[in-house]
């Protein structure tokens, strides 16, 4: 019964979405205020209905209702509760419903908090948002219904893929979807602006927080996924340039570009039509991602949906949303005129370069991801494009970006003076280069990767610090004066500095792990000790253990440093009998300076066990850096000027915040 | 990450152990590191975008042994790649070679960058030259609203 209620709620939500798509748009075109007002309650109702449907599906998973086809094929009664709940979206249909939950949530958020939007703009935004919802609800109802019942329910389910039975599944997809779907807001605002034919500073101010929010979620989602793959897949890779990863990375790069170009629209009334195009592209790449993951066109063997019917539907959707929006853009964008004037050396031109690098880097990733498909269609050749290509073709863009970032982010708007802006940075530059040289002198190999990477990382972090120090006149004014200035520095500027420093931290982690990771593969007898990376590791025991829905072989290793025990590690090999599949559970001793990463291999015929040990220097800095970037975004979001909120709320909060 | 969702790829043999086993490792560390370098760039033919260095599949193991055999036999790295490509085709190369057929792939980045630079330079120079034109009018109402937003 509850499941049928969920099914019914999806159908109702679909109908409400159709109403929300049409009525407010007609109202906005004709200037009928009461028709426009329909959008607000419709968005709330749509969200409420989707939430009911989502809870109903979760209920089916939690109670292991195997008469529901989706539960029978993706769950098992012995599965731990956490994975029963997160298993709701560990499959195609359920993840689509999560996608819808988030899509309708964003729509509802605009409805609730967008009271400062002009009524016509709000109506159009919500109408465009609803058109996306209509397409996806139809997709769910006609090709991917999660509520289908089985005539003959099995006694127990087929279980969830063991690799997904991890807390990572509870957090990674929701964050990623919050990011993907969050970009739909920027898209809806862009389409609404094109229909209205005007983009101004106020528009940029409304659209930027939503983009920032989406970007923050995407950053966290991608970092979580990378972190999860790092410990779960058993060889400690953190990025594989896999097509499925690339399709999440492209919207991230584009939303980063969009964030920056929207600043130019807001502050300088320039780059308007470009910003609109970026907003369209960012969400289009989210849709392309959904298509690639769910159609199986690039990765033909895939856990998610390899159904050609779904692929075809999604392809149509891409054609309508991307083709439609670009056509509208081509028609209306020429009317958007830039009035601002700025010189060649200015913050504006710096942000143009930022956008150029990020967008071309995105296209390189896109081309690399699609090339195998294109080559096969065009010439019938089967080719592969993997990490070695992307490392070579993508990295230069990031290097140049890091090189110019601290310089241009301190340049003033309109007309800058390169010499003056560089003045506080010469010291930083010298320090960074010296650090790189020191690293180069210390390391044994002649590889330039670590020295260059670390110099760039230092340049980014110190550059961000120098900018803040300059703004608050640190050491040039009394400390109390600096503290006052720091307090009064807009949160957006703090966010910018924190975000850029976070990028530097990630650069540092990537450079170190790539240049200095070492590994060791050997057969170890029980009781035997071996040395690795300054540690002695003793294999004490390998025993059979039982988990709730798996059996495992668990090794116990003692870590010794100079003869004293400093810890124990328990790498595991698990076997999940329902899915007849094994997983490797690495044991990781985490430190800020290095990860000691151990996996257990097969028992050897000669006795003993294969043990693989890695020392991964500064691995955690990759994800810490990503979290710092996300923190920068959050800090910037709390800036009074960008806060996602209604003026009423802002005024209420304003009294508690000291005046700037 | 989402690659986990690819996990059902046929590569996952029951009881996922290590890709590279201790027996395969060459005694000479210099040769072994060359072998790793090569196997990281070769694709496992039955897997989803996984290198033979990472894969547990039997065929990946065979290929790893083959690469090491060739290295021990004295082949240079390019010779090993040629040897493998002659048998398995260009498909196994994760880094497609610079060739006429692959030119679009390799040239896409540089060409797009040059194109983008040309566009941006033109845009920035036009901005730098153009004098302040007439602003598209805001209604007094909107102007007031904008001013209020700007003040906040």
For residue range A526-537, what is the model confidence (pLDDT) as tens digits?
999 999 888 999
**More confidently predicted of A464 and A307:** A464
**Calpha distance A657→B120 (Å, rounded):** 41
pTM: 0.89
Q: Which is nearest to B13 in space by CA: B51, B53, B60?
A: B60
- Cβ <8 Å between B4 and A164: yes
- Cβ <8 Å between B48 and A302: yes
- What percentage of residues in chain A have a pLDDT greater than 90? 55
Give the per-residue pLDDT at B130: 64
Distances (CA, A) of A374 to A161, A380, A381, A383, A521: 31, 9, 9, 10, 39
> By the CB < 8 Å criterion, does A595 face chain B?
no
Sorted by sequence, the CB contacts under 8 Å of residue B46 that are 6+ apart come out as B10, B11, B57, B59, B60
Mean pLDDT estimate for chain A: 88
From B55, which residue of chain A is nearest by alpha-carbon distance?
A235
Residues in chain A closer than 8 A to B130 (CB atoms): 341
Confidence of residue B138 (pLDDT cuts 50, 70, 90): low
At CB < 8 A and 24+ separation, what contacts does A49-52 make?
A: A49/A9, A49/A10, A49/A12, A49/A13, A49/A16, A49/A104, A50/A9, A50/A10, A50/A13, A50/A97, A50/A100, A50/A101, A50/A104, A51/A101, A51/A104, A52/A5, A52/A6, A52/A9
pLDDT tens digits, A161-214: 887 888 888 899 999 999 999 999 999 999 999 998 888 888 888 888 999 999
Sorted by sequence, the CB contacts under 8 Å of residue A100 that are 6+ apart come out as A13, A50, A53, A54, A133, A136, A137, A140
Length of chain B as a residue count: 152
- When pLDDT is averaged across residues A296-321 and rounded to a whole number, the result is 71
Which among B22, B101, B138 is the nearest to A521, CB-wise? B22
pLDDT for residue A443 is more than 90: no
- Cβ <8 Å between B17 and A243: no
**More confidently predicted of A419 and A103:** A103
Task: Report the SS3 class of residue A562.
Answer: coil
Confidence of residue A426 (pLDDT cuts 50, 70, 90): confident
Which among A242, A359, A392 is the nearest to B49, CB-wise? A242
Give the per-residue pLDDT at B1: 45
Q: Is A565 exposed, middle or buried (0-12, 13-18, 19+ CB in 10 A)?
A: exposed
- When pLDDT is averaged across residues A619-635 and rounded to a whole number, the result is 96
- When pLDDT is averaged across residues A8-24 and rounded to a whole number, the result is 96
């Amino acid at each position: 019964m509850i499941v049928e209620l969920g099914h019914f709620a999806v159908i109702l939500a679909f109908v409400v979405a159709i109403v929300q798509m049409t009525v407010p748009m007609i109202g906005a075109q004709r200037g009928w205020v009461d028709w426009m007002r329909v959008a607000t309650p419709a968005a709330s109702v749509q969200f409420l209905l989707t939430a009911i449907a989502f809870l109903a599906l979760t209920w089916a998973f939690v109670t292991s209702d195997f008469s529901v086809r989706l539960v029978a094929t993706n769950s098992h009664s012995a599965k731990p509760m956490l994975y029963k709940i997160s298993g709701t979206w560990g499959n195609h249909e359920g993840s689509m419903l999560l996608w819808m939950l988030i899509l309708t949530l964003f729509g509802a958020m605009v409805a609730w908090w967008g009271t400062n939007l002009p009524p016509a703009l709000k109506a159009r935004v919500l109408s465009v948002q609803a058109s996306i919802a209509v397409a996806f609800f139809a997709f769910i109802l006609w090709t991917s219904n999660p509520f289908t019942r089985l005539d003959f329910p099995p006694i127990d389910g087929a279980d969830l893929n063991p690799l997904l039975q991890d807390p990572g599944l509870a957090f990674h997809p929701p964050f990623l979807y919050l990011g993907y779907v969050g970009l739909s807001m920027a898209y809806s605002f862009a389409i609404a602006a094109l229909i209205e034919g005007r983009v101004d500073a106020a528009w940029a101010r409304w659209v930027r927080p939503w983009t920032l929010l989406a970007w923050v979620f995407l950053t966290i989602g991608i970092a979580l996924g990378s972190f999860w793959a790092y410990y779960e897949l058993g060889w400690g890779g953190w990025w594989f340039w896999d097509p499925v990863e690339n399709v999440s990375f492209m919207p991230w790069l584009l939303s980063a570009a969009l964030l920056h170009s929207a600043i130019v629209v807001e502050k300088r009334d320039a780059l308007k039509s470009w910003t609109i195009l970026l907003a369209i592209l960012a969400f289009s790449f989210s849709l392309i991602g959904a298509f690639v993951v769910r159609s199986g066109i690039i990765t033909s063997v895939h856990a998610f949906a390899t159904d050609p019917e779904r692929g075809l539907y999604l392809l149509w959707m891409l054609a309508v949303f991307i083709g439609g929006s670009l056509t509208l853009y081509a028609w209306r964008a020429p009317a958007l005129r830039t009035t601002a004037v700025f010189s060649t050396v200015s913050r504006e031109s710096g942000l143009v370069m930022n956008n150029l690098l990020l967008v071309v880097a995105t296209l390189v990733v896109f081309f690399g991801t699609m090339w195998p498909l294109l080559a096969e269609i065009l010439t019938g050749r089967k080719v592969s494009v993997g990490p070695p290509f992307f490392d070579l073709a993508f990295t230069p863009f990031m290097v140049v970006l890091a090189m110019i970032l601290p310089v241009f982010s301190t340049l003033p708007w309109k007309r800058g003076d390169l010499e003056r802006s560089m003045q506080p940075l010469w010291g930083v530059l010298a320090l960074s280069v010296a650090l790189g040289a020191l690293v180069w002198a210390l390391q044994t190999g002649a590889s330039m990767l670590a020295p260059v990477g670390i110099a760039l990382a230092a340049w980014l972090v110190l550059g961000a610090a120098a900018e803040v120090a300059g703004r608050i006149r640190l050491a040039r004014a009394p400390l109390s004066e600096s503290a006052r200035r720091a307090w009064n520095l807009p949160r957006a500027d703090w966010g910018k500095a924190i975000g850029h420093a976070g990028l530097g931290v990630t650069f540092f982690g990537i450079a170190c792990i790539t240049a200095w990771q070492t590994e060791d593969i050997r057969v170890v007898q029980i009781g035997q000790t071996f040395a690795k990376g300054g540690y002695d590791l003793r294999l004490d025991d390998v025993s059979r253990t039982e988990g709730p829905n798996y059996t495992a072989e668990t090794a116990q290793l003692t870590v010794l440093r100079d003869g004293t025990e400093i810890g124990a590690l328990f790498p595991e090999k698990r076997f999940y009998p329902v899915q007849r599949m094994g997983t490797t559970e690495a044991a990781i001793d985490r430190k800020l300076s290095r990860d000691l990463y151990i996996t257990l291999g097969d028992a050897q015929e000669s006795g003993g066990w294969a043990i693989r040990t890695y020392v991964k220097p500064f691995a955690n800095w990759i994800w810490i850096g990503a979290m710092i970037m996300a923190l920068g975004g959050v800090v910037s979001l709390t800036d009074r000027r960008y806060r996602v909120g209604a003026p009423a709320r802002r005024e209420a909060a304003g009294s508690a915040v000291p005046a700037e | 990450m989402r690659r986990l969702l690819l996990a059902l790829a046929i590569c996952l043999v029951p009881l996922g152990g290590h890709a590279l086993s201790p027996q395969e490792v060459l005694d000479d560390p210099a040769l072994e590191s060359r072998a790793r370098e090569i196997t990281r760039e070769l694709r496992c033919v039955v897997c989803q975008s996984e290198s033979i260095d990472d894969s547990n599949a039997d065929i990946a193991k065979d290929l790893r042994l083959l690469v090491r055999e060739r290295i021990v036999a004295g082949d240079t790295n390019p010779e090993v790649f040629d040897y493998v490509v002659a048998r398995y085709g260009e498909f196994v190369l994760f880094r497609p070679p610079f060739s006429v057929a692959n030119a679009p792939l390799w040239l896409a980045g540089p060409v797009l960058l040059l194109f983008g630079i040309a566009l941006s330079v033109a845009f920035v120079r036009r901005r730098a030259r153009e004098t302040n034109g007439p602003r598209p009018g805001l209604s007094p109402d909107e102007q007031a609203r904008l001013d209020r937003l700007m003040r906040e």
